């Protein structure tokens, strides 16, 4: 399980791009908390979880090929 | 009257408080310290709140993340950490005191202010049971808690359920306001107090060395916290106590000398006094200092190294203590999807004690941080999701995200030791830290109980992270408090080393046990007590 979770994590280069974006004042609003009410937040998190599961096989394959 | 001279080794919380007390008692003090500092990074940070700087400063990466590359990024975790302006606190430790570690990753400091330069400012008094187990008698120590509180300024809530456990000192300034997430958690606790208590949990606002009212010390004024959420990066108002403020304050006194750039190597007694061999870290020149007494406050590992080297006790295994630490990222359901105010401080908001049924006196300490000013990429990199989805999830969770730190009490064991080995000129400290099966089982039970207590607060844990042995940054051991004067690695309860009566241990190097509470406040009280004992000793000799 731990291996799976680690393998599914984004690669460091993608995170570096995210760090650069987060440090841009012009992109500030893209990093603000989303506060749409508890129901919407829960539905949002659930949707993200399902999308993540659907994308997992593709990401696993990609990470395997980069090994 | 002859002014008696004391050398204090180390400028951390203990060293600074020992020096201050010794000077107040009329002694001449020389502080020996390497004293690494980083004015440059501090100077990079403009005035303003975290939110304001995030919105406006194009150069914010220099102090929020520093010059990171993808490889270094792998080591950045989601908990509170050494942000670039505080990173100097641990710089060059390996150069000045190389170590060989087995299963142990300690954080050591040769900075001005020691590890206190990066301290989270949690201030917790030990109870009588904890003091007795540590080897420190309560009655002589308690007045020194008050001295420290007067000197550094502590804010906290004396009416909370946890106050009797954490705040046995006075004066105490009014508590800092809770941020939105912590206020919501605290409201849940007050509503569901019975359920929490059934799980052994008591909760209160965290006592902090963070001012809520101005404090004047010898003309140096510190202001209340501005609640600008910049505490991990800057402290314009000096509201968080740092030992360097005490050293700055002392530097105008005529009986104080700060000897920076100096590494203390070994002591030897001569006549009625003591000589300390030192090295200038820039030129490499060796020299000796002479004084009537020596107070060692170089941190548990630093002080132990100095004593072992000075007494020629090579290859002898001595106990090493460090609290086990875990953190549990959790979601406070009551805050999910709700907005949170930006006006807040960044340090621990709430603190709790959990009494394990098997050993109710050996409390666990749980600290609650809201995840606000530590940037989102640190969460996204841990989520098993593509970057864009991870960012969305982090944004949905951010106002509800609560990082719960769990500290476990630490017992001495033959499997946790340090020893000074012969290697090159100064020797090398070797450590080994092995957790026994029984300790592992206790820790598992502690964590399970903590997770149940969190669930009672409607706070849902989603994982438990073990950052590794030594990550609590709470260290003790090496020497021991014992009245047996034949024990040459022992000290009296006032810190006096049996093997060298001109030398005193002014930090946690002689503690026999480590409770789960952060030890910094107790370290400072102990250092003051030791300095007072030194002064009494010298005055009576005169």
pLDDT at B426 over 70: yes
Mutate to test the interface with B, among A5, A6, A36, A41 (most CBs of B within 10 A): A41
Q: How far apart are CA B365 and CA B127, in angstroms?
A: 13
- What is the least distance, in Å, from the CA of A58 to any CA of chain B? 11
Which residues in B lie closer than 8 A to residue A12 (C-beta atoms)? Answer: 70-71, 73-74, 381
Q: B379-389: buried (b, 16+ CB within 10 Å) or exposed (e) per residue?
A: bbbbbbbbbeb
Taking any CB pair shorter than 8 Å as contact, residues of chain A touching chain B are 4-5, 8-10, 12-20, 22-25, 28, 30-42, 44-45, 48-49, 51-52, 55-56, 59
Predicted confidence at residue A67, as pLDDT, reads 55
The residue behind tokens 């990199």 is B381
Measured CA distances, B318 to B210, B298, B303, B311 (Å): 36, 17, 13, 14
Listed in sequence order, the residues at least 6 apart from B237 whose beta carbon sits closer than 8 Å to its beta carbon are B211, B222, B223, B224, B225, B226
What integer pLDDT is reported at residue B14 of this predicted model? 98
Query: If DSSP states are collapsed to H, E and C, what string results for B274-308?
Result: EEEEEEECCCCCEEEEEECEEEECCHHHHHHHHHH
Minimal-distance CA residue of chain A relative to B389: A48
Q: DSSP for B83-96?
A: -GGGGGGGTTHHHH
Whether B494 has a pLDDT exceeding 70, the answer reads yes
Q: Is the pLDDT of residue B226 over 80?
A: yes
Indicate the burial class of B259 (C-beta count within 10 angstroms; 0-12, 13-18, 19 or more).
middle
Q: Percent of chain B, pLDDT > 90?
A: 90
Mutation for B interface: A33, A44, A52, A66, most B CBs within 10 A: A33
pLDDT in tens, A6-34: 777 888 888 899 999 999 999 999 999 99
Q: What is the pLDDT of residue B312?
A: 95
CA-nearest residue to A45 within chain B is B393
Predicted local distance difference test score (pLDDT) of residue B71: 66
Rounded to an integer, the average pLDDT of B464-480 is 94
Task: Render pLDDT for B427-452 as a digit per residue (tens, 0 to 9).
Answer: 999 999 999 999 999 999 999 999 99
**pLDDT score of B433:** 98
Task: Report the alpha-carbon distance of residue B373 to residue B316 in Å, rounded.
Answer: 45
pLDDT value for B1: 59
Contacts of B382 in chain A (CB under 8 A): 9
Give the fold, CATH level 3, of B5-102+109-541: FAD/NAD(P)-binding domain (3.50.50)
Nearest to B124 by CA among B353, B320, B328: B353
Domain extents for chain B? Answer: 5-102+109-541
pLDDT digit string, tens, across residues B11-38: 999 999 999 999 999 999 999 999 999 9
Check whether B276 has a pLDDT greater than 90. yes
CA dihedral B420, B422, B425, B430 (to 10 degrees): -40
Q: Could you tell me how far CA B440 lies from the centroid of its own chain?
A: 24
Q: How far is A67 from chain B (nearest CA, A)?
A: 16
In order of B74, B193, B260, B305, B518, the CA distances from B295 in angstroms are 40, 46, 16, 14, 22
- Give the pLDDT score at B219: 79
Nearest-Cα distance to chain B for A59, in Å, is 8
Residue of chain A whose alpha carbon sits nearest to that of B398: A33
CA-nearest residue of chain A to B54?
A: A25
Mean pLDDT for chain B? 95
Nearest neighbour of B54 by CB, restricted to A28, A41, A56:
A28
Other CB atoms within 10 Å distance of the CB of residue B342: 17
> d(Cα B181, Cα B403) in Å, to the nearest integer?
11
Radius of gyration of chain B (CA): 23
Interface contact flag, A15 B338, Cβ < 8 Å = no
Give CA–CA dist B60/A24, Å, rounded.
Answer: 8
Question: Residue B465 contacts by C-beta under 8 Å, 6 or more apart in sequence?
Answer: B77, B78, B79, B326, B327, B328, B329
B interface with A, Cβ–Cβ < 8 A, is 54-58, 60-61, 64-65, 68-71, 73-74, 333, 336-340, 375-377, 380-387, 389-393, 395-400
CB-count burial class (<10 Å; 0-12, 13-18, 19+) for B100: middle
Among B1-5, B157-161, B345-349, which stretch is predicted with the lowest mean pLDDT? B1-5
Nearest to A24 by CA among B53, B482, B398: B53
CA distances for B84 relative to B76, B94, B120, B241, B303, angstroms:
12, 19, 15, 19, 27
Work out the average pLDDT over B489-503: 97
Number of alpha carbons in the 13 Å side-chain half-sphere of residue A37: 3
Select from B336, B458, B462 the residue whose CB has the most chain A CBs within 10 Å, as the one to mutate to test that interface: B336
Is B398–A22 a contact, with Cβ atoms under 8 angstroms apart?
no
For B6, list phi and psi in degrees, rounded to 5. Answer: -125, 135
Asked if B207 contacts B351 with a C-beta cutoff of 8 angstroms, the reply is: yes
Full domain range(s) for residue A39: 2-65
Give how many domains chain A has, as a whole number: 1
For B196-215, what is the mean pLDDT? 97
Look up residue B212 and give its two tokens: 């809520």
Q: Rounded to an integer, what distance in angstroms lies between the CA atom of residue B119 and that of residue B241?
A: 9
- The predicted pLDDT at position B497 comes to 98
Backbone angle region of B331, left / alpha / beta, with phi > 0 → left and psi within -120 to 50 → alpha: beta
Q: Contact B200/B241 with Cβ under 8 angstroms?
A: no
pLDDT bucket at B57, cuts 50 / 70 / 90:
very high
**Beta carbon pairs, A and B, within 8 Å:** 119
Task: Give the 3-state secondary structure of B210-251.
Answer: ECCCCEEECCEEECCCCCECCCCCCCCCCCECCHHHHHHHHC
**Nearest CA to B108 among B262, B276, B298, B267?**
B298
Which of A18, A38, A52 comes nearest B338 by C-beta? A38
A52/B384 touch (CB, cutoff 8 Å), yes or no? yes
CA atoms of B299 and B506, how far apart (whole Å): 9
Taking a C-beta distance cutoff of 8 angstroms, is the pair B135, B526 a contact? no
pLDDT, tens digit (0-9, with 9 covering 90-100), for B207-225: 999 999 999 987 789 999 9
CB contacts, 8 Å: B380 with chain A: 10, 15, 18
pLDDT digits 0-9 by tens, B63-121: 998 877 666 776 666 555 688 999 999 999 999 999 999 999 999 999 999 999 999 99
- Predicted TM-score (pTM) of the model is 0.95
Asked if residue A39 has pLDDT above 90, the reply is no
Which candidate from B69, B392, B400 shows the least CB-CB separation from A44?
B392
Pairing of strands B364-370, B350-354: antiparallel
How many Å apart are CA A53 and CA A47, to the nearest integer?
Answer: 10
**β pairing state of B500-505 and B293-296:** parallel
In chain B, which residue's Cα lies nearest the Cα of A4? B384
Q: Contacts of residue B396 in chain A, CB cutoff 8 Å?
A: 33-34, 41, 44-45, 48
Query: What ipTM, to 2 d.p.?
Result: 0.90
Nearest-10 Cα torsion for B231, B236, B239, B241:
80
B1 is written with which tokens?
């009257």
Cross-chain residue pair A25–B61, CB shorter than 8 Å: no
């Amino acid at each position: 399980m731990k291996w799976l979770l680690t393998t599914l994590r984004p690669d460091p280069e993608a995170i570096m791009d995210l760090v650069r974006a987060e440090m841009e004042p012009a992109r500030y609003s893209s990093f603000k908390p989303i506060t749409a009410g508890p129901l919407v937040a829960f539905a949002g998190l659930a949707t993200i979880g399902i999308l993540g599961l659907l994308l997992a096989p593709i990401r696993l394959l990609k990470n395997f090929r980069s090994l | 009257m002859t002014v008696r001279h004391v050398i204090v080794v180390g400028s951390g919380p203990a060293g600074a408080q020992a020096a201050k007390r010794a000077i107040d008692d009329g002694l001449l003090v020389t502080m020996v310290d390497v004293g690494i500092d980083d004015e440059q990074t501090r100077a990079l940070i403009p005035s303003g709140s975290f939110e304001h700087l995030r919105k406006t400063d194009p150069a914010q990466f220099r102090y929020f993340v520093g010059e990171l590359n993808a490889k270094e990024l792998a080591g950045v975790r989601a908990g509170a950490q050494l942000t670039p302006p505080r990173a100097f606190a641990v710089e060059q430790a390996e150069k000045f005191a190389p170590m060989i570690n087995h299963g142990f990753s300690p954080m050591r400091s040769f900075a001005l202010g020691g590890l206190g330069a990066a301290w989270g400012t949690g201030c917790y008094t030990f109870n009588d049971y904890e003091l007795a187990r540590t080897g420190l008698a309560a009655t002589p120590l308690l007045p020194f808690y008050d001295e420290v509180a007067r000197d550094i300024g502590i804010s906290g809530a004396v009416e909370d359920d946890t106050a009797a456990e954490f705040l046995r000192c006075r004066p105490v300034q009014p508590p800092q306001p809770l941020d939105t997430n912590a206020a919501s958690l605290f409201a849940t606790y007050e509503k569901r107090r019975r359920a929490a208590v059934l799980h052994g949990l008591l909760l209160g606002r965290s006592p902090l060395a963070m001012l809520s009212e101005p404090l004047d010390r010898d003309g140096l004024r510190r202001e209340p916290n501005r609640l600008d959420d910049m505490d991990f990066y800057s402290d314009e108002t000096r509201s968080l106590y740092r030992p360097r403020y005490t050293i700055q304050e002392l530097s105008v006194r005529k009986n104080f000398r700060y000897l920076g750039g100096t590494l203390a190597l070994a002591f030897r007694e001569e006549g009625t006094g003591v000589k300390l061999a030192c090295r200038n870290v820039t030129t490499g020149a060796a020299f000796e200092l002479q004084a009537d007494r020596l107070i060692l406050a170089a941190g548990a590992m630093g002080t132990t190294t100095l004593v072992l080297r000075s007494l020629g006790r090579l290859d002898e295994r001595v106990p090493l203590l460090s609290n086990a630490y875990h953190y549990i990222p959790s979601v406070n359901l009551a805050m999910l999807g709700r907005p949170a105010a930006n006006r807040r401080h960044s340090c621990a908001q709430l603190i709790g004690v959990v009494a394990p049924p098997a050993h109710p006196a050996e409390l666990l300490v749980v600290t609650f941080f809201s995840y606000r000013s530590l940037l989102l990429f640190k969460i996204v990199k841990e989520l098993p999701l593509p970057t864009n989805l991870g960012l969305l999830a982090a944004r949905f969770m951010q106002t509800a995200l609560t990082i719960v730190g769990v500290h476990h009490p630490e017992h001495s064991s033959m499997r946790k030791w340090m020893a000074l080995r012969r290697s090159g000129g100064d020797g090398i400290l070797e450590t080994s830290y092995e957790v026994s099966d029984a300790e592992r089982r206790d820790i598992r039970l502690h964590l399970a109980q903590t997770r149940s207590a969190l669930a009672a607060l409607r706070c849902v844990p989603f994982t438990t992270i073990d950052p590794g042995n030594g990550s609590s940054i709470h260290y003790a051991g090496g020497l021991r408090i014992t009245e047996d004067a034949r024990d040459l690695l022992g000290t009296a309860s006032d810190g006096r080393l049996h093997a060298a009566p001109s030398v005193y241990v002014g930090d946690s190097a002689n503690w026999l046990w480590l409770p789960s509470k952060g030890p910094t406040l107790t370290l400072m009280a102990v250092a003051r007590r030791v300095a007072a004992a030194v002064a009494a000793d010298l005055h009576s000799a005169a």
